[in-house]
Amino acid sequence: MASVDRLSNLPDAIICHILSFLPTKLSVSTSVLSKRWSSLWAHVPVLDFESGESTALDIVTRFMQLYKVQRINAFRISYAGRHDDLSKSQLETCIAVAILHNVKELRVCVPVLPRGILTCETLVDLCLRNCGDIIPVTDTVCLPALKTLHLISVKYKSDKTLVHLLSGCPVLEELTVRCFPTWVCCHITSPTLKKLTINDHCKVKVDTPSLRFLKLENCVPLEGDVSDGTLDSLTEAEIDIDKLTIMGLDVAVFSHYVLRFVSRLNNVKYLKLSSLLDPNYSFSFLPSYTKFHNLTRLELNGDGRFLSYFLANADNLEVLIIGRVKSGMWLLEQETKCLSSHLRAVRIGGFGCAEHEFELIIRYLLWNAKVLRRMEIYSSRHDGTDLKAKFDERISLFPRGSVACELAFH
């Protein structure tokens, strides 16, 4: 039976939509398929000139002049060649054409920041990567529609640069900052921002009263660097601070800042925390009145002392995930509301502590979690050996406080 060309029978709009998922170079190559396909590439609403090769800007410029779409949904361009070979005028021509076509999403990876980007009124999503000095504070920033901004390996002239940039984004909702220079304070000020991700060893100041999601990697706001009300709307946080010496702080001082900051996350529903603190620093310095009444899901890595802290102060915790927790855990003697009436699922694995501590925490949770429905245990220490079978069997015999609890070994 003869094959049927179903693709060519599709409407032009659907074919152009399919082509939009391909790099533009491949999209253009379809022009040789037939006369009908010869110009379809010029109507694709997404232009993607990102590749591992150095993009030839003269080719991109000529392509843009033949482009027939009135509105560009996304324009992505990267330049991997030598800085000296870059034609700034050609680059700015490409960006100017994209702006004239009312571009919504722009992803730029070039060593210099083209003019016109920071005054584009149609941009909704902007990603700048490996750009040179982003802007002088005297330049105009006007991005009235921008909701998502990613700044990766971007150079800043001073502490005021980022503040100035954000001041021109009145409806910004999502911001990601990566590879921020350590000598500059990452000062985030935005009344509309809902999602913030910062990944670097830098000083952080935050004033974002509408924030719902926060992710910090190897940085932590110091005391006084989080404005009042900034964390009140926060529902989800991922805090990854595994290095004790970031920002040149004394280990004890750093531990103090981390604990104080964690105590201010008391409104979150979901928390992922990975941190190693000074083993000599006491958790008793934390305010005794701090409660995490909204917290229902907790994932812990690093300092084992956080486990007891949250079991005592997160009364409504339902899901607990314990990853590579180091030694230092101490278990509660008194019964907690979390264990007696709310904790329903536990996943344990990748312990970085001694095996007897590993078994101790399993035994403790199995007995004290009175409404626990399922516990999953991941242990790779004895994979493929009789020791693994004996380990599983030994754990299976531990007494359980919940008759409905199921054990699963991986």
Q: Could you tell me the pLDDT band of residue 190, with boundaries at 50, 70 and 90? A: very high
pLDDT at 196 over 60: yes
Over residues 107-128, mean pLDDT: 90
Q: Structural domain boundaries of the chain? A: 8-102, 116-234, 272-409
Q: Which of 54-63, 302-311, 347-356 has the lowest mean pLDDT?
A: 54-63
Q: Could you tell me the pLDDT band of residue 88, with boundaries at 50, 70 and 90? A: confident
pLDDT at 217 over 70: yes
Q: Could you tell me the pLDDT band of residue 106, with boundaries at 50, 70 and 90? A: very high
CA 72, 78, 81, 84 torsion-angle sign: positive
Tokens of 15: 């074919």
pLDDT at 188 over 70: yes
Q: Could you tell me the pLDDT band of residue 352, with boundaries at 50, 70 and 90? A: low
* CB burial of residue 77 (10 Å; 0-12, 13-18, 19+): buried
Between 180 and 164, name the one with better pLDDT.
164
* Tens-place pLDDT, residues 258-287: 888 888 899 999 999 988 787 777 777 666
pLDDT at 316 over 60: yes
Crossing angle for the helix pair 386-396 and 355-368, nearest 10 degrees?
A: 30
d(CA 291, CA 286): 11
Instruction: Report which listed range, 38-47, 68-77, 81-90, is most confident.
Output: 68-77
